[in-house]
Homo-oligomer: A and B are copies of this chain.
Amino acid sequence: MKKLEIAVIPGDGIGKEVVPVATKVLDTVAEIHGGLKFEYTEFPWSCDYYLEHGKMMPEDGLDILKNFNAIFLGAIGNPQVVADHVSLWGLLIKIRREFEQSINIRPAKFFKGLKSPLVNPNDFDLIVVRENSEGEYSEVGGRIHRGEDEVAIQNAIFTKKGTERAMRYAFELAKQRRGHVTSATKSNGIFHSMPFWDEVFNEVKADYTDIQTASYHIDALAAFFVTRPQIFDVIVASNLFGDILTDIGGAIMGSIGIAPAANINLNGKYPSMFEPVHGSAPDIYGKGIANPIGQVWTAKMMLDHFGEQELGQKLLDAIEDVTNDGIKTPDIGGTSSTNEVGEAICSRLKEVC
């Protein structure tokens, strides 16, 4: 029996609604598998927790998480009660960094049964490899002067090691896919870091002569996500650019509510973390209408991570079938509840397996 210990952090808002649905789906998968078991330990770390304790998680939070096989996270953030940078850097970004989850992988593809806002969304199938540990997201910087003279300085830090790691990951991934890597740059405007990014990309690509490449400035690339997402296979992007592109990726699929993500620790020292692209959506929280697909698809990425690609694929197919059958939450034009979508996915899985 393969037993996997999962730290579950539902977090804030709709995270608390979609996570239980996704763990139920995971249990169904385990049942079908026969030799697989998920053991969940839930942690209430969130903005509510912050309001009570003055921090997003306990001092020894990371020590507690360290020994799990994976972390399954919902969403973090409630700007009404805790400033976003306080809540995010106190939990989500902290875990990404301290656990050296240096890569964030985020697929986006033409999804059966969804209405894309694009006239021609046909058959796009891309995956963004986002550098997840450095770059534009950095605590380095600060402010000087006050009042009219105040100046904020923000450092973006790109190491050779971090940049190269993300790029090599992208090239390896492209080998298993359609053999194409696109680099997201902005070396015409961003003077130091992006020409460096280009240099590293050129160096890495020299090692992969069988892989086709392209390099676009982020402005043009973001526009291409709208006008011709079909041209992309694997895209490698900095922390910020990956963040922006993957929200557009969600949008062109038909809803950010379905986009999944995996924060991968590559050195085996710490658990990886699985959390969808969407946020805590306080505006719809409590209504039972949050789209669970992002969280369930994220569970599929966790299955892949544990070597269960075959069942992972079946799960993704089940999600698409259910969507195609019109069992959908309101954000994608349906009338079903969060739980109904979850149950439909479980039934469908049992049917086909």
Binding site for B on A (CB under 8 A): 77, 83-85, 87-89, 93, 115-120, 136-139, 141-143, 147-161, 186-197, 217-220, 222-224, 226-227, 239-240, 243-244, 246-248, 250-252, 256, 279
User: Known contacts being A151-B158, A152-B193, A160-B151, is A227 close to B117, with CB within 8 Å?
Assistant: yes
Given contact pairs A137-B189, A154-B156, A244 touches B219 in the complex (Cβ within 8 A): yes
Determine which residue in A116, A195, A197, A239 has the highest number of CB atoms from chain B within 10 A of its CB, and name it: A195
Nearest to A242 among chain B residues (CB) is: B219
Could you say which residues of chain B place their CB within 8 Å of the CB of A251? Answer: 222-224, 226-227
| Contact A193/B117 with A77-B188, A160-B147 known, Cβ cut-off 8 Å | no
User: Knowing A188-B85, A191-B89, A192-B141 touch, does A157 contact B161 (C-beta < 8 A)?
Assistant: no
A188 to chain B: which residues have CB within 8 Å? 77, 84-85, 87-88
Distance between A276 CB and nearest chain B CB, rounded to angstroms: 13
Cβ–Cβ < 8 Å partners of A226 in chain B: 117-118, 226, 248, 251-252
Report yes or no: B142 in contact with A151, Cβ–Cβ below 8 A.
no
Inside 8 A of A244's CB, which chain B residues have their CB? 218-219, 222, 244
How far apart sit A220 and B161, CA to CA, in the bound complex (Å)?
29
Question: A118-B118, A119-B118, A151-B158 are known contacts. Are A222 and B222 too (CB-CB below 8 A)?
Answer: yes
Give which listed residue, B85, B93, B189, B219, contacts A195 with CB less than 8 A. B85
With A151-B158, A156-B154, A160-B148 known as contacts, the answer to whether A219 contacts B192 (CB < 8 A) is: no
Query: How far is the CB of A86 from the nearest CB of chain B, in Å?
Result: 9
**Sample (14) of A-B pairs whose CB atoms are under 8 Å apart:** A89-B191, A119-B119, A136-B189, A136-B190, A137-B190, A138-B191, A141-B191, A143-B192, A150-B196, A152-B192, A152-B196, A189-B243, A219-B244, A226-B226
Query: Given A191-B89, A218-B244, A248-B222 in contact, is the A152-B161 Cβ separation under 8 Å?
Result: no
Compute how far the CA of A152 lies from the CA of B159 in the bound complex, rounded to whole angstroms: 6
Q: Identify the closest chain B residue to A156 (Cβ).
A: B154
Query: Which residues does chain B contribute within 8 Å of A142, judged by CB atoms?
Result: 192
On chain B, the residues within 8 Å of A119 by CB distance are 115-119
Contact (Cβ within 8 A) B187 A85:
yes
| CB-based nearest B residue for A154 | B193
The interface residues of chain B lying within 8 Å CB-to-CB of A149 are 159-161
CA separation between A287 and B85, bound complex, in Å? 50
Known: A150-B196, A154-B156. 13 other contacts (CB 8 A): A85-B195, A88-B188, A116-B119, A118-B118, A136-B189, A141-B193, A143-B192, A149-B160, A149-B161, A154-B192, A156-B156, A222-B251, A224-B251
Q: Are A155 and B157 in contact (CB under 8 A)?
A: no
